[in-house]
Structure formats: structure tokens, C-alpha cells
């Protein structure tokens, strides 16, 4: 038995000396040709990501050994362990790679990649993902443990770009190019310090990339590394990417409900540019401001957010607790203008002035709105039904009305007017001694003058100063 072992050892040594077989883990001199490779247990020298968020789960030799004994979680090949150094035929692998379109340079770069210990997906921080990001990450995790195959594009075996292409196609219906140099042109380039789940991480120079992985959050990527290995999770601080591309929309998707109403600001909270709640459109919303809203969203933080518009333009999103409905309250009354320099407004954007209210003028009110700061606005009409606009109620005073049902007699030949704004004379000189039916007595709040509302045979005649009347 000892003699047999000795002979086997001699054969292996001879084959190694002839370079006919090569360990998958290359010599130190060879493996250091890739500037992206980080020594296990050390932090990257040029990583802009937070060191705590990207802290390696293999920061010591004992941790590495323990991690290497773990088995990859996989729905396809659950018993595969890829941390053992496997003896592979270098020339055979080279032939396979060239046959499916890899360049010699790409082949060398891939073979020079470091050994990747198995890592368990153990979240160290909460990751907020929109629907498509979740779909991509969850689809990718299905293939943990699938073996690496040059040119592999199915769950029976993947290369790095084949895995990415399959995941994106089956998760979100996006058809990416077959190889890394094609995939690196898709989407938009983003900073490595702003990675989101689903982003693609590339290795190598632009136009000549040799490897790609899918970022899954918490400083980790999922990828198909190289021959002899399997699809696995790697901390990117251990093997730091050259650049990244974002294929998916970075706009979170949230459940929403279509609505169509006005709301008014009750708290000076922020209005956000989007539902990521990262950038403020308005730092402190102005209490009392009225906005149009078309949707309400339920955020992942549990809050509800209104989508706000002004004059048809999207302004942003605000927490529903900072607004209330801008409600119409119907009521009918007559008012008189008591303050000067108040405008009638055509809307609650306060952009369309309809004219100044004249002190002493009497109008009809058919309803009101109250803004978030407590200001009340009347909807104002003339007696003939013409709409004047919205007017701050502080500019008005109610016209006191005493309902009557009595006969009155003209004692002075004063004018009978068509309304209490004295816009038209119905009877220039009332006939002394004429008897009318009085249905109401109005008191002008500004001047204190009283006016009777006169009828004849059930028809409104007009209004006359009470001093021209005797009961």
C-alpha cells in the first residue's frame, strides 16, 4: 500500500512539472495580476462603501475555515461545496472558454480570480427594495450552488453573464445581451457608493470586462465565479468591482389608490421629490397651502403619502398626517365687505385675481372652505347669481337679517333699489303713502343703516332705507 501511494505521488509530481494539470488556486505571483483582488481578512483600500456595512464575514483565519465548511443553499444543487481546491486541466478549460467566445485575456483574468468561500445570506441591515429589485434578488438566490460552465445559460450550469441574463429575463422580463461586454452598455452607470439591489457589478476595463455579478444588498453580490466553483454569495469588499450599472428603475413601487381632491397643509413637514424620501422638494411646507392630489401611496415605512400638484405640475410627496381634506361646507347668507384691499380669487393657487372687494358692498355666500391654517374663504356671488370668486371671510361681516311679515307705508320719496349694493334704481322716487309688504329688515354691518325688503302682490320690488318707512 505504501509503495502504491509513493508511485501515485510520483505520477502527480511528474504531471505538475509538465504543466499538464493545474490546481484551481494559482500561485501568489499569478493571482496578484488582478488589481481587484483583496487579501482575505483585510479591508479594500479604495472602497467608498461604509466599512461596517461591508465588513467581511471572513475577517480571520478561523472564520474563513468555518465559512469554508458551510454548504451553499441551493434549490438546484444543495450539496455542492465549492471551497475545496480542485485540480483542473488548464489547457482544457482554455479550449472550452475560447470555443464559446472568451478572449485569452478574459480567460486569464477569470482563472486568476481568487477562491471565494461560501457565504450565507445573513442580512446585517434592513434592505428596502422595490418590486423589481425584490424579483431579481429572489430569482438569483434560486440558483445558489449551480456549477460554473463556460458559456452556460441555464440552471444546469451558468457562467457569470449567463446567470445575469437568465435572472433578468425570468425575474422581470428584461432581455440583456449575452456577454459582459454587451451587458456593461445597458442601463446607466452609477457610483459604487450608491449601489442598490439588482445593480450589476463589473470587473475589468470598460469594453473588456471579464466578470459580472448581481448586487443583493448589504455589501454582497451573487455571481457565478469560475470553473470548479458554483453560484454563490461574496462580500464585495473581498473582491471589489471596477464599476456598476443600474438596469432597474430606482423608483420604489408602492401600493397606491387613485383619488381626485384638494388637500390643505396643516403641518410644516417636508415635501419630498419622490418616495425614496431622500431629497426634499420643499423643506418646510407652508401651512394653509392648498394642493391637488391624484394618488395616495402606502410606503414601506407604514406611512401614507399624498402626491401633490400645483397648477397641473407635480410638486412632490408629503406624509398624509401633515394634511387634511380641503372640504366645502355649504351655507347661505348675505355678507357686507368691511375691509379694503382684499382680492377675489379664481382658485386656491391664489394666482388668478378677479378684482378687489369694495367696502360696504353686499354679496351672497353659498359656501366656504377652511385652509390648514384656519383661514376661511367664502364663495361669493352677486344677487343676480354672478360668481365673484373666493374671498377671505375676514374681509366680510354678516348682514344682519330680521325676517318680517308686515305692511309698511312710504313716508319719504326716497329711492327703491334693486339690491343692497344700490346698483340700479327700481323706483327713483317712491310714492308717499304707498303700502308694501315687508318680508325682511337688513342691517348694514359697516354703516349700521337698515333697509326694508319690499314686495307687492308677491313680487320683489326692491330695497329702501328704513328711515323712509313707517309701520
What are the pLDDT digits (tens) for 95-116?
Answer: 999 999 999 999 999 999 999 9
Q: Are 441 and 404 in contact (CB under 8 A)?
A: yes
Residue 23, strand partner residues:
87
CA-nearest of 319, 250, 253, 327 to 282 is 319
Q: Are 462 and 427 in contact (CB under 8 A)?
A: yes
400-470: CATH topology is: SH3 type barrels. (2.30.30)
Q: What is this structure's pTM?
A: 0.51
In this predicted model, what pLDDT tens digit does every residue of 408-423 receive, in sequence order? Answer: 999 999 999 998 888 8
Pairing of β 353-356 and β 290-298: unpaired
Residue 98: CB atoms within 10 A of its CB come to 14
Instruction: Break the chain into its structural domains and give their ranges.
Output: 2-246, 256-325, 328-398, 400-470
**Which comes out higher in pLDDT, residue 451 or 71?**
451
- pLDDT for residue 22 is more than 50: no
Q: Quote the CA–CA distance of 412 and 397 in Å, as a whole number.
A: 29
Pick the CATH number of 328-398 from 3.90.650.10, 2.30.30.40, 3.60.15.10, 1.20.1250.40: 2.30.30.40
Q: Are 200 and 212 in contact (CB under 8 A)?
A: yes
Q: Quote the CA–CA distance of 462 and 469 in Å, as a whole number.
A: 13
Pick the CATH number of 2-246 from 3.90.1720.10, 2.40.40.20, 3.10.20.30, 2.70.98.60: 3.90.1720.10
Cell matching residue 146:
449551480
Domains 2-246 and 256-325 share a fold: no
Cell matching residue 136:
431579481
Note the pLDDT of residue 114. 94
- pLDDT for residue 19 is more than 80: no
Residues 6+ positions from 383 with CB-CB distance below 8 Å:
362, 364, 418, 419, 420, 421
Note the pLDDT of residue 101. 94
Identify the three-state secondary structure at position 253.
coil
Note the pLDDT of residue 86. 64
Residue 30: CB atoms within 10 A of its CB come to 13
Least confident of 82-91, 278-287, 326-335: 82-91
Mean pLDDT of all residues belonging to the chain:
83
Phi, psi of 163 (to 5 degrees): -65, -45
- Torsion, Cα 360 362 367 372, to 10 degrees, reads -10
Note the pLDDT of residue 455. 96
Taking residues 192-221, report their average pLDDT.
96
Q: Are 259 and 294 in contact (CB under 8 A)?
A: yes
Taking residues 257-264, report their average pLDDT.
95
Is the CATH code 2.30.30.170 the one for domain 256-325?
yes
- Where residue 44 falls among pLDDT bands split at 50, 70, 90? very low
Q: Quote the CA–CA distance of 441 and 63 in Å, as a whole number.
A: 94
Q: Are 119 and 219 in contact (CB under 8 A)?
A: no
Q: Quote the CA–CA distance of 442 and 397 in Å, as a whole number.
A: 13
Note the pLDDT of residue 421. 86
In this predicted model, what pLDDT tens digit does every residue of 420-469 receive, in sequence order? Answer: 888 899 999 999 999 999 999 999 888 899 999 999 999 999 999 999 99
Amino acid at each position: 500500500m505504501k509503495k502504491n501511494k509513493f508511485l501515485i505521488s510520483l505520477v502527480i509530481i511528474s504531471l505538475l512539472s509538465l504543466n499538464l494539470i493545474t490546481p484551481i488556486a494559482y500561485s501568489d505571483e499569478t493571482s496578484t495580476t488582478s488589481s481587484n483582488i483583496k487579501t482575505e481578512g483585510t479591508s479594500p483600500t479604495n472602497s467608498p462603501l461604509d466599512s461596517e456595512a461591508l465588513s467581511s464575514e471572513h475577517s480571520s483565519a478561523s472564520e474563513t475555515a468555518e465559512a469554508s465548511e458551510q454548504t451553499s443553499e441551493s434549490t438546484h444543487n444543495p450539496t455542492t461545496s465549492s471551497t475545496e481546491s480542485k485540480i483542473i486541466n488548464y489547457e482544457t478549460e482554455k479550449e472550452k472558454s475560447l470555443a464559446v467566445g472568451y478572449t485569452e485575456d478574459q480567460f486569464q483574468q477569470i482563472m486568476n480570480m481568487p477562491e471565494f468561500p461560501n457565504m450565507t445570506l445573513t442580512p446585517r441591515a434592513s434592505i428596502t427594495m422595490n418590486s423589481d429589485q425584490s424579483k431579481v434578488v429572489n430569482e438569483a438566490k434560486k440558483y445558489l450552488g449551480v456549477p460554473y460552465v463556460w458559456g452556460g445559460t441555464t440552471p444546469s450550469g451558468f457562467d457569470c453573464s449567463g446567470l445575469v441574463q437568465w435572472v433578468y429575463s425570468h425575474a422581470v422580463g428584461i432581455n440583456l445581451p449575452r456577454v459582459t461586454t454587451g451587458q456593461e452598455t445597458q442601463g446607466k452607470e452609477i457610483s459604487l457608493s450608491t449601489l442598490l439591489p439588482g445593480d450589476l457589478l463589473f470587473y475589468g476595463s470598460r469594453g473588456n470586462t471579464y466578470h459580472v455579478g448581481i448586487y443583493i444588498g448589504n455589501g454582497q453580490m451573487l455571481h457565478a465565479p469560475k470553473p470548479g466553483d458554483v453560484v454563490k454569495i461574496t462580500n464585495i469588499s473581498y473582491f471589489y468591482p471596477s464599476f456598476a450599472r443600474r438596469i432597474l428603475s430606482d423608483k420604489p413601487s408602492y401600493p397606491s389608490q387613485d383619488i381626485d381632491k384638494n388637500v390643505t397643509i396643516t403641518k410644516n413637514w417636508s415635501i419630498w421629490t419622490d418616495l425614496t424620501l431622500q431629497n426634499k422638494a420643499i423643506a418646510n411646507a407652508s401651512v394653509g397651502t392648498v394642493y391637488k392630489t391624484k394618488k395616495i401611496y402606502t410606503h414601506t415605512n407604514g406611512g401614507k403619502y399624498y402626491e401633490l400638484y400645483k397648477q397641473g405640475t407635480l410638486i412632490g410627496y408629503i406624509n398624509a398626517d401633515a394634511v387634511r381634506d380641503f372640504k366645502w361646507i355649504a351655507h347661505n347668507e348675505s355678507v357686507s365687505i368691511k375691509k379694503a384691499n382684499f382680492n377675489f380669487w379664481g382658485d386656491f393657487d391664489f394666482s388668478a385675481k378677479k378684482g378687489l372687494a369694495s367696502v360696504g358692498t353686499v354679496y351672497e355666500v353659498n359656501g366656504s372652505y377652511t385652509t390648514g391654517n384656519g383661514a376661511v374663504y367664502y364663495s361669493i356671488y352677486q344677487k343676480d347669481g354672478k360668481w365673484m370668486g373666493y374671498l377671505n371671510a375676514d374681509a366680510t361681516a354678516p348682514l344682519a337679517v330680521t325676517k318680517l311679515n308686515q305692511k309698511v307705508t312710504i313716508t319719504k320719496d326716497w329711492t327703491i333699489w334693486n339690491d343692497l349694493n344700490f346698483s340700479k334704481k327700481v323706483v327713483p322716487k317712491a310714492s308717499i303713502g304707498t303700502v308694501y309688504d315687508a318680508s325682511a329688515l337688513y342691517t348694514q354691518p359697516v354703516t349700521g343703516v337698515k333697509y326694508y325688503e319690499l314686495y307687492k302682490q308677491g313680487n320683489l320690488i326692491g330695497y329702501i332705507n328704513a328711515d323712509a318707512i313707517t309701520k
